[in-house]
Amino acid sequence: MPDRLYIQPLTFAPSPQAFAGDAVRLAGGMVYAREFAVIIRRDGSVVERALATAETIDAVLAQLPDELGPEAEAQWANLRMAHPPLQLGERTIRLDQPQVMGVLNVTPDSMSDGGEFLDDPDKATAHAAQMVEAGAAIVDIGGESTRPGSAAVWEGDELKRVVPVVERCAAMGAAVSVDSRRPAVMEAALAAGAQIINDVSALRHDPRSLEFAAASGKPVILMHAPGEGDDLHADAGYANVVLDVFDWLAAARDRAVAGGIERARVILDPGIGFGKTLADNLALMNALPLFHALGQPLLLGASRKRSIGALSNEAPAHKRLGGSVAFALTGMQAAVQLLRVHDVYDTVQARNVWRGLRDAALTDFSALGD
């Protein structure tokens, strides 16, 4: 196996002027990174690690073996890349600040709503309207639970659950993504007005998915999950969960692009909670800035996950608001562009306060005076 390289942002600054310009704007967002680890992995183990700042990184990269030079330059450019907005029908979703995606499950066995919106499109649409009013930029509609141990859903049932709600949400002007791994559901949802495909299997569940997604011209969210069949949580085993997930997402991105999906339309999700232990999830949360080196917008779906319960005396899903907001704020600090959450109002409020702090930090208080 050839050596692999990774450039990981390590430390952050409140503003670029805090270090006389020796900091970079991470992924075109509201976070500034100053120090970076340049990591080489060989046969699953980290064998070299050097530190650099924006001023010194050229010299550090120049010392790398020739075969790693192109990847190093690509990752360094990716970390500083400003992503264009998502154009979702008449809605434009800017990616220079965190955006909130509201979760709408129309399933009988969701961990969060217990089937509250199943077979009731009007109630589901009313909830979507509340999320949009609260500040959700996108509503993510799914008709199949993918929690550990959940059974696969028949395609006909998924269509019956999802399509009427997508139609109603699109009709009221919401930007809609469809959370599905089946191309027939993707196709019907897009025809009903959805604008994004969110596939937790990263277009692996059905061999027709990649071809359809490419032909659709819509943005596609590819999530990491170790399982390849109906059980997305199966076959988990990591030498280094952060770097293994990074490599997996890089391969998923490349497969999508090779299959005809425009690279600018690929969004990546590290898959918090899918085939991962508590330690794995925490490692990924702490390493989120690294994934910008892949050069794609990032989505974080950590809301109400089991890890929050594990850290809070096994609090049930509906009592994980505080932990969900803490995870969302961690994503904001890592310049993640999309936050997939159940509690839209509280997350948007946290985002707005966080953004106010970031805006204020651009004025260096130490430079004020007569």
Asked whether the predicted pLDDT for residue 110 surpasses 70, the reply is no
**H-helix or E-strand spanning residue 63:** none
pLDDT at 111 over 90: no
**Given 168, 340, 351, 358, the catalytic residue:** 340
Exactly one of 41, 161, 168, 305 is catalytic; name it: 305
Q: Which CATH architecture has domain 86-358?
A: Alpha-Beta Barrel (3.20)
> Is 340 noted as a catalytic residue in this protein?
yes
- What pLDDT is attached to residue 370? 47
Gap between the Cα atoms of 212 and 199, Å rounded: 12
Has 168 been annotated as catalytic?
no
Radius of gyration of the chain (CA): 20
pLDDT at residue 367 tops 80: no
Query: Mean pLDDT, the chain, as a whole number?
Result: 93
Dihedral angle over CA of 130, 136, 138, 140, nearest 10 = -60
Q: Are 176 and 199 in contact (CB under 8 A)?
A: no
Residue range 273-288, pLDDT digits in tens: 999 999 999 999 999 9
Identify the weakest region by mean pLDDT among 30-34, 108-112, 202-206, 220-224.
Answer: 108-112
**Amino acid, single-letter form, for residue 165:** V
What does the pLDDT read at residue 236? 83
Opening angle at CA 255, ends 333 and 214, nearest 5: 95
- Residues 35-58 pLDDT 10s: 999 999 999 999 999 999 999 999
Three-state DSSP class for 172? coil
Half-sphere exposure of 66 (CA within 13 A, CB side): 0
Please tell me the pTM assigned to this model: 0.95
Considering only 193-207, 225-239, 252-266, which range has the smallest mean pLDDT? 225-239
Axis crossing angle, helix 278-286 with helix 321-333, rounded to the nearest 10: 40
* Least confident window among 1-15, 120-134, 140-154: 140-154
pLDDT in the model for residue 365: 67
Using N-to-C axis directions, what is the helix angle for 155-171 and 183-191, rounded to 10°?
A: 20
Helix (H, G, I), strand (E, B) or coil at 116: coil
Per-domain residue ranges of the chain: 4-79, 86-358
Region 293-318 average pLDDT: 96
Residue 124, burial from CB neighbour count under 10 angstroms (0-12, 13-18, 19+): buried
Mean pLDDT of all residues in 102-110:
83
